Every structure is written in C-alpha cells, then in structure tokens.
Structure 1
Amino acid sequence: MPKITKISVQQKRTDRYNIEVDGDYAFSVDEAVLMEFNLRKGSELTKAEVEEIQIRDVVRKGLNAAINYLSIRMRSEKEVLDYLKRKEVELDAAEEILMRLRSMSYLNDEQFATAFVKTQIQTTDKGPYLIQRELKEKGINEEIASNAMEQFTEEAQIEKAAKLYEKQLKKYKRDSAFLQKKKAEEQVITKGYSSSVMKQAAFEALPDEEQEMEALMHQAEKAHRRYRSYKPSEYRQKMKMALYRKGFDFSAIDQAIENLQKE
C-alpha cells in the first residue's frame, strides 16, 4: 500500500504542505486538512483516501478564498457562489463551502440585505425601486428584500427625492421652468422613486419667477444671435417659436424680445 515518505512546508505558503508518497511528490494539502486526516510520515493511504483528501482540500481552499473575499465587505450568498464559480470550484464543493460559511456566521442574507439598504440610503441618492432591483440581482429573495426595505420609509424617500429634485433643477437652471421640472422629474424617476413620491418632493421646489426670467433671457440671447440678421417680422416669429419650444410662456417671450430690442 502506498506510504507517505515525506511532508514538507511550502516555501511561499506556510499553511500548505507538500506530500510525497513512496519517494515522489503526490499532492499538497492545507494545514487544516493535514490535521483532519492526521497525515504523517509513514501513514499508508489507499486510492480512495487520497481522493477524499484532495476533495477536502478543494473545499478548504475554496473556503479560505471565500473568507478572504468576504473580508473586503459583506456579500450575499449568490455573490459568494458566483465568486466560487469563477474560481472553478465544483458545485458540490461550493455548496459545502456556503454551508460552512453560514455556520461560521460569515454569510447571512438577512443581515446583508439590511446593511446593504442602510448603506444605499446613507451614501447614495438611489430610490427604493433601484435598491430593490439591486437586491434581486444579488440573489436576495423577495421576502428578505421586502423586510430590509421597510427601513426606507416614505418620509425618508420624499426627503431624499426632494434633495435630488432640487439638485437637478439647479443643473438645468438655464432651461425654462417647464423643462427644468420635466428633466428633474425624469431624473428622480430614473433613480428609482415612485411618481407619487416624486410629486410630493417637487411640490414646493419649482423655480421662482426671477430664475425663470434669467433662464429665458439666456435662451433668448442665444436665439437672438442666430436670428438677428432676419427681417423684423421673420425675426420675431422665429424667436417666438424657438423659445416656445424651450417651454417658455408666450407673454414672457414677448417681454424678453422687447428687452433685447431695447439694447
């Protein structure tokens, strides 16, 4: 029966050992596997025992890799499983690794989901739909995701949506109030907020009259440079249509044209 003739520590990995059988290198194992099977010089090994040892070593290597992966940040079970697949760990071994990680409290989808939602609320401007979609992508089941999302109250959603809405209004301050509102609303919806939350957030955040006139004059001056060489009647018509398409009111447009013509 084959016999272990030498056990030596690897130079670069002191937690791994090279095993020689009958004078030749046979395989390497993790320190935990070495201890689990009580491997020592003189131990006799059957083919079946060698295969079992190597299977256990695959699990151990995968477990170590997964723990290192989890040390960076919390992960869902699906994220860890996908990581093990990329490491080409067999499914049976991967499932055992997940089981061990659960028992060691390294994996808990409920805790992960709660922490993930809390982090998204505190550090991003994402709305509930977007966060919930990301939870689904990470393999979190509907019930766990729903429970985790309870911490994102409607009041908190409105507060964050309002800040996002106001930020977008400032971004598009050179546009008409109509376009500012439209673009800001689109951004809030795109970020994952419901239309009802968006409407409440936008209720008192519309641009004031002074901002509207400033935006109108900015657009009017651009149009004026484009059409100033036209005949007066054609100039006025083109100015009106250009500014109307930008979302400005006709009466305000007339005032802007008059102001330009006075200059």
Structure 2
Amino acid sequence: MKITKITVQKNDPERYNIFVGDQHEERFACGVDQELLLRHHLHKGMEVDEKKLAQWALEDEYEKAYKHALHYVNRRMRTEQEVRLELANKEVIMDHIDRILEAMKERKYVNDHMYAKSYVNLELSTSSKGPGRMKQYLEEKGVARSTIEGALLSYTKEQQLDKAIAVIQKKSRQYKKDSIQMKKKKLTDALLRLGFSYEMIQLALEHLPKADEEDALSIQAKQAAQKLQKKYSGQDLHRRIVQKLVQKGFSYQAAIDYVNESFQEEDQ
C-alpha cells in the first residue's frame, strides 16, 4: 500500500494526518509531527507497510510526550520525579519516559542539583524555614539525599540561628501573657514545625527577650479567678487558682505566694 494523502491538522499546523490505501480503498493511518514527517521524507505515493506505520505511530507518541514534558518544565523548574510522574499520569510508556528524561537531563532542562540549590536560596531569602522543612520538601520532590545535603550546605549555622531568633522575637509578643516556661514550650513547638533542630532552638532561646513574669502571673491569676469564682470560694478557690497557674507553667511557690498575697485582703 501507499500513502494516498497528507493533510495538515486543523488544530495544530505542525501536525499532519497520514492516509494510506490503494486504488480501491483509503483510510486514515496515523498522525505525525512535522519533524517526523521531514525525518522520514514522508510523501504522497510512498510505499508503506503496517510495520512502518506502527513505528511512525510509536515515534509520534514519543515526540508528543517530549513536547508535553518541555511545556511542563517551561512553566517552572521541576525535579526528575515530577516530570516522571507527570508523564506517567499522561499514560506515556516507560521506555519513552526514560528516553525523555535522559534527553532533558543531558540538555539541563531537568537538573535536581540546580533545583535543590535554587529552592534553598529562594527560601533563605523569603521564608523563616529551618533546614528540616527544606529537606522534607525536597525529599517529597524526589531529590536524592546527597543532593539535598549538598544544597543545604549554603544554609549556615549562623543563618539558622539568626532566623530562629527572628521567629522568637516576633512570636514572643504573642505569648506575653504566658509564663516563661509555657512561652519557651510554645516557641520550641513553633520552631520545630519550621524545621529547626532542637539544639539550634536551645541556642536561639537564649536570646528570648526578657519578660515580666510577675505581670504574666497576675494576668493569668485574674483570668483564672474570674472563671473559677463562679463555682468556688475561699480556700478552695485559692487552691484551684494555684493549680491553674501551675498548669500554665508557673512554679508552685510563685503561684501560691501570689495567691496568698493578692487574695488575702479580699478574704478579710
């Protein structure tokens, strides 16, 4: 059989429809990219067989998948795993995916080392994240552990400490009513969520702004008394206020001294 007709596709002028047949019958065979058309010198009257048609169709699937991958990485940087998953979701066969990734890595369209370094540098300049959060993100993107460790070398201990201290200075204002113990707990939890190590957090907490523990104790005691005095009175009320203050992180001695002093006049 021969190629009987080649037409340009309506929705894509760089793709062509190939029709084959003989003098009795004509049928659509496959669609091909312009590059494939030129590569194989396809033209009307060319002798073809089913094997050639199948090969062209397979090559065309590769070209379409490669163009899709290029479009995918042109929108923003992607890791090798992201490209692989994107192509797999498009039901591209594994051989094509492997070939596409090898070609893209060779041309530096996909480069996990550059991706990791770029990501770390961006987060260093725009976020308060610690190295743990950055590492977690890159692991989720499929970047190799050695590549992640290499990229994180640019995040120095001094930078980590500066960022952790900045978080403490900002958030400590939100916890001004808390005891120093409770404040440290909340700040530690916040910094752990941001990906800082426990060791780095302890160093940063040494820079916690000085707070008036007595003011915080007074605020918490008054709030506790306001709630508890609806149900309790006298020594029972005092005892429960002390319990609340201890639960909030104040020392037992500081709590009982404050309650004895502050509520003594009210009881007289």
Q: Do the structures match in fold with TM over 0.5? A: yes
Distance 1:17 1:241, change over 3 A: same
2:87 to 84, 88, 112: 84
Amino acid paired to 1:215: A
Aligned-residue Cα RMSD (Å) equals 2.0
Distance 1:9 1:173, change over 3 A: farther
**What residue number does 2:133 align with?**
130
**What residue number does 2:50 align with?**
47
Distance 1:18 1:245, change over 3 A: same
Tell me how far 1:65 sits from its aligned partner. Answer: 0.8
Amino acid paired to 1:3: K
**What residue number does 2:63 align with?**
60
**What residue number does 1:226 align with?**
227
Q: Give unmatched runs, 5+ long, in structure 1.
A: none
1:94 aligns with 2:93: no
1:215 aligns with 2:216: yes
**What residue number does 1:145 align with?**
148
Classify the secondary structure of the residue corresponding to 1:94: helix
Q: 2: distance between equivalents of 1:206 and 1:257?
A: 29
Contact 2:3 2:45 in 1 (8 A): yes
Contact 2:176 2:211 in 1 (8 A): no
Range that drifts further, 71-80 or 250-259: 250-259
Distance 1:38 1:216, change over 3 A: farther
Per-residue CA distance 1:32-58 (angstroms, 9 max, x = gap) = 222222222222222221111111111
**What residue number does 2:123 align with?**
120
Q: 2: distance between equivalents of 1:167 and 1:29?
A: 60
Q: Give unmatched runs, 5+ long, in structure 2.
A: none
Classify the secondary structure of the residue corresponding to 1:40: coil
**What residue number does 2:157 align with?**
154
Amino acid paired to 1:239: I
Q: 2: distance between equivalents of 1:205 and 1:149?
A: 26
Amino acid paired to 2:41: N
Tell me how far 1:124 sits from its aligned partner. Answer: 2.4
Amino acid paired to 2:180: A
Tell me how far 1:189 sits from its aligned partner. Answer: 1.8
1:204 to 204, 207, 210: 207
Tell me how far 1:11 sits from its aligned partner. Answer: 1.4
**What residue number does 1:72 align with?**
75
**What residue number does 1:247 align with?**
249
Q: 2: distance between equivalents of 1:18 and 1:50?
A: 12
Classify the secondary structure of the residue corresponding to 2:62: helix
Q: 1: distance between equivalents of 2:98 and 2:122?
A: 28
